Amino acid sequence: MAYARYAIYYTPPPGPLAEFGAAWLGWDPRRGAAVPHPPTMGLPLPVARLSEQPRKYGFHGTLKPPFRLADGTREEDLRGALAEFAADHSPVWLDALKLARIGKFLALVPEGEQAGLADLAARIVTEFDGFRAPPGEAELARRRQASLSPAQEALLERWGYPYVMDEFRFHLTLTGPLPPEDADSVRLALDPITAPLLPVPFIVDELTLLGEAEDGCFHEIERFALTG
């Protein structure tokens, strides 16, 4: 299958959390298939509306944001480099995950010390930058619509994405932007559903390579265990 863009994400292993994320978003990258939304009650909007913006990416935490392959690089080269990287790096342990608001949207975020995870993400951004084609002007303009800070603008220019390095905040997105009152309502409805699914501790022990296919959605290509 040909892919327009690639990304390196954390995606939960098969199990209850992964199944919830796929159903909530309506897309399962591992199977490459749409999934029926759950019949969740007490929401201000239908699940399909709430999860529309993040749906095509699947349930994930970004480590290397989506990028087009640079000229002269191939998917097999990327896969080989990622296999070598994973073999040289150890899993990252965090205290837990929790449901929280980040700006205008809801996501699962880690609890506890996160320096190890931030370091892993920075290494991935840096070491795989040779595979990234520079973003076009349209993509840059779209990113700048978010009113970037000077630091974020500098990161966009250097790494093609404004939320890496010091601006990195790991999260598994559940919704698009919501008004505060709707975000509170959704959080109250989701808390009892997600709480039993959240791992304690939360361990990032695999990296997932995904590709954006012709359907506009990201599909799982291969998972790589961190075994260093």
- To the nearest 10°, report the CA torsion of 191, 195, 200, 201: -30
Alpha carbons 182 and 185: distance in angstroms, whole number? 5
β pairing state of 202-204 and 92-94: antiparallel
| pLDDT at residue 142 in the model | 87
| pLDDT at residue 133 in the model | 96
- Provide the whole-model pTM: 0.95
SS (H, E, C) the chain: CCCCEEEEEECCCCCHHHHHHHHHHCEECCCCEECCCCCCCCCCCCHHHHCCCCHHHCCCEEEEEEECECCCCCHHHHHHHHHHHHHHCCCEEECEEEEEEECCEEEEEEECCCHHHHHHHHHHHHHCHHHECCCCHHHHHHHHCCCCCHHHHHHHHHHCCCCCHHHCCCCEECCCCCCHHHHHHHHHHHHHHHHHHCCCCEEECEEEEEEECCCCCEEEEEEEECCC
Alpha carbons 65 and 83: distance in angstroms, whole number? 18
**What does the pLDDT look like over 17-26, one tens digit per residue?**
999 999 999 9
Q: How far is CA 185 from the centre of its chain?
A: 24
| pLDDT at residue 169 in the model | 96
Alpha carbons 172 and 177: distance in angstroms, whole number? 14
Q: Among residues of the chain, what percentage have pLDDT more than 90?
A: 88
| pLDDT at residue 15 in the model | 96
Where does the pLDDT of residue 33 fall: very low under 50, low under 70, confident under 90, or very high at 90 and above? very high
Q: Is 40 a residue whose pLDDT tops 90?
A: no
Structure-token pair, residue 178: 């919501």
Q: Is 76 a residue whose pLDDT tops 80?
A: yes
| pLDDT at residue 136 in the model | 85
Classified as helix, coil or strand, 110 is strand
Alpha carbons 182 and 173: distance in angstroms, whole number? 16
| pLDDT at residue 179 in the model | 92
Residue 140 burial by CB count (10 A; 0-12/13-18/19+): exposed, middle or buried? middle
Q: Is 1 a residue whose pLDDT tops 90?
A: no
Contact 209, 221 (CB under 8 A): yes
Rounded to an integer, the average pLDDT of 118-141 is: 94
Domains in the chain, start-ordered, CATH in brackets?
A: 5-142+170-225 (3.90.1140.10)
Where does the pLDDT of residue 39 fall: very low under 50, low under 70, confident under 90, or very high at 90 and above? confident
**What does the pLDDT look like over 207-219, one tens digit per residue?**
999 999 999 999 9
Alpha carbons 153 and 167: distance in angstroms, whole number? 11
- What mean pLDDT is reported for the chain? 95
| pLDDT at residue 60 in the model | 98
| pLDDT at residue 218 in the model | 98
**What does the pLDDT look like over 136-166, one tens digit per residue?**
888 888 888 888 999 999 999 999 999 999 9
